[in-house]
Amino acid sequence: MSDTSETNYLDNGKGFASWFYTVDHKRIGVMYLIAIGIFFIIAAFASFLIRWEHLTPGEGIVSAHTYNVLFTLHGSMMVFLFIVPGVAASFGNFLIPLMIGAKDVIFPKLNLYSFWLYLLGASIFLFALAAPADTGWTFYTPYSIDSGTNVIMITLGVFVLGFSSILTGINFIVTMHKLRAPGMTWDRLPLFCWAAYATSLLQVLATPVVGITLLLLIGERYFGLGFFDPAKGGDPVMFQHFFWFYSHPAVYIMILPAMGIISEVMPVFSRKPIFGYKAIAYSSLAIALISFLVWGHHMFVSGQSKLVNIIFSVITYAVAVPTAIKVFNWLWTMYKGSIELSTAMLYSLAFIFLFTIGGLTGLFLGALAVDVHLHDTYFVVAHMHYVMIGGTVFGFFAALHFWYPKMWGVMFDEFKAKIAFVLIFIGFNVIFFPQFILGTLGMPRRYFNYAPEFESLHQLSTYGTWIIGIGFILMMYTLLKPIPGEAGPNPYKSVSLEWSMDSPPPPLNFDKIPTITEPVYNYGTKIEKES
């Protein structure tokens, strides 16, 4: 199926210009991967400094203002520059055309334009660090209106990033509608593509809301308009409604692609067909739909009516149903399977474990009586990180290791990669599990200082950053120093379409568009043995 008459996509053109002007979806995916990887390192280093400051009460290595700048930098960079575009833009770009039997996305030039818009938004974002904002990543009014820091510049950067996200979503939606190979019906579409499709719908429908909100905030600061300022007849709570109407769907922009990755990894290393294909596929769409209806659970203590709070609380519990469907089907896929604990599989199993903890603790926050006590405490910090890092980032790492030979044509040292996994997994839990206890005991989030009785738990959390930091360094070393020799086209014996060609793939993917005649997950079946 591969176009072997040409070289692979990495060697198809040399020099900076061949990458700068490329419209090859695979190269664009790689450029996204490198860019978001750099921003992840910067954001992670900011979090390391935050935890180091909390090693002891009072002022340590940074001042109170610098601390506020650091958690604003960490949160906004991790969310807008890494987690939101992370899996969708990098692996989505690389994999979707390969998985559906297309030679590229339907709008290749628009795809490149989306990437450069992403870099432009990121550049504006970084330029804002000349007078860095200290509002936190949510930019809550009224403080963001009155702060003397560079709020306009950083929100302008996020506004530009939104355009990149919308254009990428449109490209993926149209590509999956128009360029699927003959026989690639919707019930044969890989589950990663289903997840990317649901994600793209969220990107297109939700992102304009936050874009408009940030424009209103810029107008408020620059022109003195009274949208959110109570002194001018505005309503600061309206900003929260607008922000979370986008930001809760954004949680699933972050997590749905990672869920798609788990759905691809599980059957490969269980050597079984995916259990409940349609349930997993349709649950992605259900999650996307319900995510638009639950934003108010972030605002239980913001002055909403009791009736509104009850409605949002009930709907919040509803989103757990399609999520639980996915987890159940993943576990059942493994049942009586021939399980291979590859590095990608280990990260996938960790995803299920950590995301389940994140989801279950979210039920506490969805309960009105409990949320009153836990709101704006470290319990929320722990919950958020178990979902975003334990979910999205661990899913990202699973993809990084699973498709590594496909992207680069070489293998990494599995033994070292597994040691890195153990360190990252242990370090993550040492950091964030004590924060559940801190929150339950009443430790507020975002505070520069804290009472002495919280010191031991803060210290334990800080020690975890040292463990996970060593794990990250070892993981990067392992991936940047591959094992000499070629990986072969399909080292994991996957039956998915992207593994049917050479590794790395040729520039145009297929010399002849394939015709699909069988379901996508035939592991352990007669069909697989005959192929």
Domain positions in the chain are 16-530
Chain centroid to Cα 159, Å, comes to 18
pTM for this model (two decimals): 0.94
- Residue 4 scores a pLDDT above 80: no
**Half-sphere exposure at residue 505, Cβ-oriented, CA atoms within 13 angstroms:** 31
**Structure-token pair, residue 252:** 């699933």
The yes-or-no verdict on residue 525 having pLDDT over 70 is: no
Q: CA quadruple 130, 136, 142, 143: dihedral positive or negative?
A: negative
Nearest by Cα to 499 from 508, 507, 490: 490
pLDDT digits (tens, 9 = 90+) for 182-192: 999 999 999 99
Tokens read off for 13: 């053109």
Lowest mean pLDDT among 150-154, 262-266, 395-399, 419-423: 150-154
Angle in degrees, 0-180, between the axes of helices 25-53 and 84-100, rounded to the nearest 10: 160
Residues near 443 by Cβ (< 8 Å), separated by ≥ 6?
377, 378, 450, 451, 454, 457
Phi first, then psi: what are they for 73, rounded to 5°? -60, -50
Q: What is the CA radius of gyration of the chain?
A: 23
Q: What token pair was written down for 476?
A: 């990067």
> How many Å apart are CA 156 and CA 154, to the nearest integer?
5
What DSSP character marks residue 523?
T
pLDDT in tens, 318-371: 988 999 999 999 999 999 889 999 999 999 999 999 999 999 999 999 999 999
Around Cβ 24, how many Cβ atoms within 10 Å?
A: 27
Model confidence at 6, pLDDT cuts 50, 70, 90, reads low
Residue 134 contacts residue 147 (beta carbons within 8 Å): yes
pLDDT in tens, 14-32: 888 899 999 999 999 999 9
Q: What distance in Å separates the CA atoms of residue 82 and residue 38, rounded to the nearest whole number?
A: 9
Q: How far apart are CA 49 and CA 61, in angstroms?
A: 8
- Superfamily, domain 16-530: Cytochrome c oxidase-like, subunit I domain (1.20.210.10)
Residue closest to 285 by CA, chosen among 158, 211, 195, 167 = 195
